[in-house]
Amino acid sequence: MPNTMISSVKTVVVVLMMIGGCAASCKRDAAKTAVVLDPASAAAVKAQFDVLRDSVDVKWRDMTESDDQKIAVTRLLLREIKNQPGVEASKLQELERANARLKARRYTQQTMANSDLIDRYDTAQDSLLRAVYPVAAPNDNAPTENARNFVEGLRQLDEGVVGFRLQYDRAASQYNTYLQLHQTELQSLGGKYADLKKLPLFTIGAN
């Protein structure tokens, strides 16, 4: 075979090998891309789950901050009426102590699975407010402008409780549903994802 023909054949073989190598490389790159973009992949599941977890945490924080504010406003209201005529110091101290104990009695995201804890906390806070209003605003007439503002603020915060709980339940329900659907992928990630549990809800009968 002439040298020129041999050289041409070698050139063709080299070109074909290069094309084949590029094609294989492209297939590998495409496969890598497909894994990254696959919505069913563990990485994609983790990313979406983290978004849902963050949403739950935000709703819980908003709810507890509102409750903290209610406790703080109650404290300010009791302090505001401290020197008003006819207010019994012993009664005021009793109300202040009850208000100061509320945070320690409040349920958490985990302990609220026991609905009795929610009921007991709600009863304690409702009983406190029912006792505070007649002292702070007899006949619905607070003695000072600050006291009136505090009473109105307390009522608005109290009315917002149901809304905060509904928002939390919606976020926690989405979290629970996603966890149920993708628990296998999440467990494969290990660490904190290996033993995730569904979150309890405020809604009676919901899991």
Average model confidence (pLDDT) for the chain?
84
Q: What is the pLDDT averaged over residues 102-121?
A: 96
3-state SS record for 77-123: HHHHCCCCCCCCHHHHHHHHHHHHCHHHHCCCCCHHHCHHHHHHHHH
Q: Choose the most confident range, by mean pLDDT, from 3-12, 64-73, 194-203.
A: 64-73
**pLDDT for position 16:** 37
pLDDT band (50, 70, 90) for residue 203: confident
Burial class (CB in 10 A: 0-12, 13-18, 19+), 161: middle
Separation between Cα atoms, residue 103 and residue 44, nearest integer Å: 38
CB atoms < 10 A from the CB of 81, how many? 22
DSSP string, 122-153: HHHHHHHHHHHHHHHSGGG--SSHHHHHHHHH
Q: Is the pLDDT reported for residue 33 higher than 80?
A: no
Percent of the chain with pLDDT strictly greater than 90 = 68
**pLDDT for position 154:** 97
Separation between Cα atoms, residue 207 and residue 205, nearest integer Å: 7
C-alpha 70, offset from chain centre? 20
Q: Are 157 and 73 in contact (CB under 8 A)?
A: yes
Q: What is the pLDDT averaged over residues 132-141?
A: 94
**pLDDT for position 69:** 98
Domains along the sequence of the chain with CATH:
46-193 (1.20.1440)
Over residues 40-94, the pLDDT tens digits come to 588 889 999 999 999 999 999 999 999 999 999 999 999 999 989 888 999 999 9
